[in-house]
Amino acid sequence: MLKCDGLTLAVPGRVLAREVRFEANRGETWAVLGANGSGKTTLMHALAGLAPAMRAEIALDGKPLGGRGARERAALSGILLQQEDAAFWGEVLEYVLLGRFAHARTVFGWSREDEDASRAALAAVGLDGFERRSYRTLSGGERQRARIAQLLAQDPQLFLLDEPLQHLDLRHQVAVLRLFGSLARKRGKAVIMVLHDALWPAQACSHALLLYGNGVMESGAASAMLTRDRLERLYGCPLREIAVEGTSFFAPV
């Protein structure tokens, strides 16, 4: 689905990661983990084609990312940005409908299929009944769920999620992780998400990519990557292991 080969992540005066190599396939859910400033957002922007990919080959379904047009790229991959600068003054349904760009068949408005897909996306994040609400009146958590709904309406094959759980309460964090896990398992989507809480990746992800911020990265199966030694080195703090029903989780000491 997505292949990244030889990507360098850097900020002025510092290399964050060298030779980033991994391949995310359909049906897989990847966690991107690292301390603040380790290059997680930089990586997501590069994978989405929103930032230069230094000395790298990034391909979607075997074709270089740069060789695809905007509509073709939007049909294959969609990104949930960590921050959204532009204000939107319309209704919630109008906002979610913007995700249908890749599927629009006419310049004269949205089709019934587009509206149905957008309403279904709102229902999937628990915002059914919010269609006519003004987007700018939503709370932070409701706005985050509307942003996720817009991405669901886009219906890409690859979801790139930069901190999808921000602003969400515990119940909605669980619901969002289950939603994307189901999209991977049952519909064969590929999911790559930046997460901060070390408790979630072991439960929600099949694979993990660790960015240490000092030029080093590691990637592989979650069971191999999510060890106490690795996570303590990643976050720079001591952790304690919690075992629940055969799965290990880690929390700060």
Give the predicted TM-score (pTM) of the model.
Answer: 0.95
The reported pLDDT for the residue numbered 107 is: 63
Q: Which of 159, 153, 74, 146 is nearest to 117 (CA)?
A: 153
Q: CA–CA separation, 180 vs 164, rounded Å?
A: 10
Q: What is the pLDDT of residues 62-111, one digit of tens each?
A: 888 877 888 888 889 999 999 887 688 899 999 999 999 888 776 667 88
Is the pLDDT higher at 193 or at 253? 193
CB 130 within 8 A of CB 145: no
Q: CA–CA separation, 182 vs 179, rounded Å?
A: 5
The reported pLDDT for the residue numbered 150 is: 97
Which of 103-107, 135-139, 172-176, 211-215 shows the lowest per-residue confidence on average (mean pLDDT)? 103-107
CB 149 within 8 A of CB 119: no
In the chain, at which residue ranges do the beta strands (DSSP E only) sit? 2-11, 14-24, 29-34, 57-60, 63-64, 77-80, 158-162, 190-194, 207-211, 217-221, 239-244, 247-252
The reported pLDDT for the residue numbered 106 is: 67
Is the pLDDT higher at 38 or at 70? 38
The domain 2-252: what is its CATH number? 3.40.50.300
The reported pLDDT for the residue numbered 175 is: 97
| Domain locations along the chain | 2-252
The reported pLDDT for the residue numbered 48 is: 93
- Mean confidence (pLDDT) of the chain: 92
Q: What is the pLDDT of residues 3-36, one digit of tens each?
A: 999 999 988 889 999 999 999 999 999 999 999 9
**For 66, how many CA atoms within 13 A lie in the half-sphere containing its CB?**
9
The reported pLDDT for the residue numbered 81 is: 95
The reported pLDDT for the residue numbered 108 is: 64
Q: What is the pLDDT of residues 143-195, one digit of tens each?
A: 999 999 999 999 999 999 999 999 999 999 999 999 999 999 999 999 999 99
The reported pLDDT for the residue numbered 161 is: 98
Q: Which of 204, 182, 59 is nearest to 193 (CA)?
A: 204
